[in-house]
């Protein structure tokens, strides 16, 4: 019985090996014996000269993209904005399409390659009215490549499967799926109305500022993150649009966002229905389900977007630092990479530790009152003398309250951070070779 089982297993193994060999080596019309060894290019185009692309697939309406004033648009089967990234990838594939190998130099029977009725046809038009048509057919027996050719050219090639994927695009693949069709770096105004409060942000050369409900310093990182969330918001094209529209109509208004860029103002409304969120944009037709994460980002309060740092010099090294603590006074100036005080060279590490403490000094929360008598006064000069920041710090109960010069905002500080600041100031010492 054991010998019989061994013989059967051996026969099965030989059959599998034979089948695999046949699958890997079967080529239409004895291709294996006749194929050339080179892998010539199929298309070599300057993608800047391509003006029109038409994609035809079995059973689908043709998709036509046209370049207008440098921008790509879908003009068939209906006018739609095109997704810049997807179109860029399509152009990249078409402009430099290489074969894996040349299968047949002068083919006459295209049916054996699936090229008599291609699965995908791509017509490419250039500025000089020259047009080329790429045809893709069946997968090769091994399944890792696809037969392809140019219309009017008798040669048949194989191309990598990923190359076919690069041109086999649906309407939903190619359309711009952004709910707000603006570039983050071109936004100049952002208005968010949520929970009965309207917050307006404005951007200038120095960054973001809060304009409404009153002028306030802004946390540019938080606002930039909100802008990213808004400009990254995409349509969910897999959902039923009618169901989304009904849910939007039944839901309650959560937030309204208005974004201004050089082209004008775009508006996004978000409604909540049960535990889901739906958005309607002025930039695109329809209602689309959106992630709760977007609603949470929009729904933050005013204080979440305020700048809690006391100083704006950030990671730039200041040139001067003056600090008064009661009867103590510290006068520090930087020359190149060295720090000096009263003509004596200070230990760089100890001064930079103080700069770091000042840089990190920030509010635990904002308060309306509590500042009485300043116990600490700090002046920091940076940006080649263009920025001078003056901050006063007063003791308040177990903590401290600070304010910036010419600003009404009061910053509540943790007593530990102020204690560390004072300790670091006391630890400043002369450089090893200081005099």
pLDDT digits (tens, 9 = 90+) for 369-404: 999 999 999 999 999 999 999 999 999 998 999 999
Who has greater pLDDT, 129 or 177? Answer: 177
The domain defined by 39-174 carries CATH number 3.10.450 = no
Residue 82: φ, ψ to 5°: -100, 150
Residue 236 pLDDT class (50, 70, 90 cuts): confident
- The residues pairing with 125 across neighbouring beta strands, listed in sequence order, are 52, 131
| pLDDT score for 324 | 97
| pLDDT score for 333 | 96
Phi-psi region for residue 103, left (φ > 0), alpha (ψ -120 to 50) or beta?
A: alpha
| pLDDT score for 414 | 92
Q: Apex CA 292: angle with CA 286 and CA 295, to 5°? A: 75
Least confident of 13-17, 50-54, 171-175, 347-351: 13-17
pLDDT digits 0-9 by tens, 339-355: 999 999 999 999 999 99
The DSSP call for residue 345 is: E
From CA 412, how far away is CA 398, in angstroms rounded? 11
Cα-based torsion angle of the residue sequence 181, 184, 188, 190 in order, rounded to the nearest 10 degrees: 70
**Strand ranges in 245-359 using DSSP code E only, listed in sequence order:** 252-261, 264-273, 276-281, 287-290, 320-325, 328-335, 338-341, 344-346
The pTM assigned to this predicted structure is 0.76
Residue 15 pLDDT class (50, 70, 90 cuts): low
Q: What does the pLDDT average to over 213-217?
A: 95
The DSSP call for residue 29 is: T
Do 277 and 289 meet the contact criterion of CB atoms below 8 Å apart?
Answer: yes
Q: What does the pLDDT average to over 246-263?
A: 95
In this structure, the number of other CB atoms found within 10 A of the CB of residue 397 comes to 9
pLDDT digits 0-9 by tens, 42-92: 999 999 999 999 999 988 999 999 998 889 999 999 999 999 999 999 999
Distance of CA 226 to the CA centre of its chain: 12
The residue extents of the domains of the chain are: 1-34, 39-174, 184-305, 320-426
* Antiparallel, parallel or unpaired: β 365-367 and 374-382: unpaired
Q: What does the pLDDT average to over 276-298?
A: 93
| pLDDT score for 22 | 43
Percent of the chain surpassing pLDDT 90: 81
| pLDDT score for 434 | 59
From CA 106, how far away is CA 156, in angstroms rounded? 8
Do 302 and 213 meet the contact criterion of CB atoms below 8 Å apart?
Answer: yes
Does position 34 have pLDDT exceeding 70, yes or no?
no
Does position 38 have pLDDT exceeding 60, yes or no?
yes
Q: What does the pLDDT average to over 111-123?
A: 95
DSSP H stretches of helix in 131-269: 161-167, 171-174, 220-232, 241-250
Q: What does the pLDDT average to over 92-97?
A: 95
Residue 205 pLDDT class (50, 70, 90 cuts): confident
Average pLDDT, the chain: 90
List all residues 6 or more positions away from 195 whose beta carbon is below 8 Å from its beta carbon: 299, 301
């Amino acid at each position: 019985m054991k010998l019989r089982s061994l013989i059967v297993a051996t026969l099965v193994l030989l059959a599998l090996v034979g089948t695999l060999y046949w699958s890997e080596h079967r080529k239409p019309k004895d291709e294996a014996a006749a194929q050339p060894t080179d892998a010539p290019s199929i298309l070599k185009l300057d993608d800047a000269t391509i003006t029109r692309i038409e994609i035809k697939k079995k059973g689908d309406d043709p998709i036509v993209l046209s370049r207008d004033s440098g921008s790509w648009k879908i003009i068939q089967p209906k006018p739609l904005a095109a997704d810049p990234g997807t179109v860029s990838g399509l152009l990249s594939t078409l402009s430099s399409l290489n074969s894996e190998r040349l299968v047949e130099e002068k083919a006459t029977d295209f049916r054996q390659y699936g090229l008599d009725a291609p699965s995908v046809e791509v017509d490419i038009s250039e500025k000089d009215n020259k047009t080329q048509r790429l045809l893709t057919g069946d997968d090769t027996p091994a399944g890792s490549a696809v037969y392809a050719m140019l219309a009017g050219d008798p040669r048949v090639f194989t191309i990598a499967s990923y190359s076919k994927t690069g041109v086999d695009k649906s309407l939903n693949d190619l359309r711009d799926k952004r709910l707000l069709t603006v570039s983050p770096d071109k936004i100049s105004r952002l208005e968010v109305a949520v929970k009965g409060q309207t917050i307006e942000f404005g951007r200038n050369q120095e960054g973001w500022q809060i304009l409404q409900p009153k002028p306030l310093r802004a946390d540019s990182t938080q606002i930039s993150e909100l802008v990213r969330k808004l400009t990254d918001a995409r349509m969910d094209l897999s959902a039923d649009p009618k169901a989304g529209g009904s849910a939007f109509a039944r839901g309650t208004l959560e937030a309204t966002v208005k974004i201004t860029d050089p082209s004008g103002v775009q508006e996004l409304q978000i409604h909540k229905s049960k535990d889901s969120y739906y958005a309607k944009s002025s930039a695109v037709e329809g209602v689309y389900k959106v992630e709760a994460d977007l609603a949470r980002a929009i729904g933050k309060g005013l204080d979440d977007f305020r700048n809690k740092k006391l100083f704006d010099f950030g990671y730039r090294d200041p040139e001067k630092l003056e600090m008064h603590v009661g009867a103590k006074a510290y006068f520090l100036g930087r020359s190149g990479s060295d720090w000096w005080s009263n003509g004596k060279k200070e230990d760089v590490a100890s001064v930079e530790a103080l700069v770091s403490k000042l840089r990190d000094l920030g509010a635990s929360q904002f308060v309306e009152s509590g500042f009485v008598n300043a116990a600490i006064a700090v002046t920091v000069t940076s940006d080649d003398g263009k920025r001078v920041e003056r901050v006063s710090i007063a003791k308040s109960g177990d903590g401290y309250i600070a304010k910036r010069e010419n600003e009404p905002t009061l910053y509540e500080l943790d007593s530990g951070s102020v204690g560390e600041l004072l300790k670091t100031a006391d630890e400043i010492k002369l450089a090893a070779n200081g005099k």
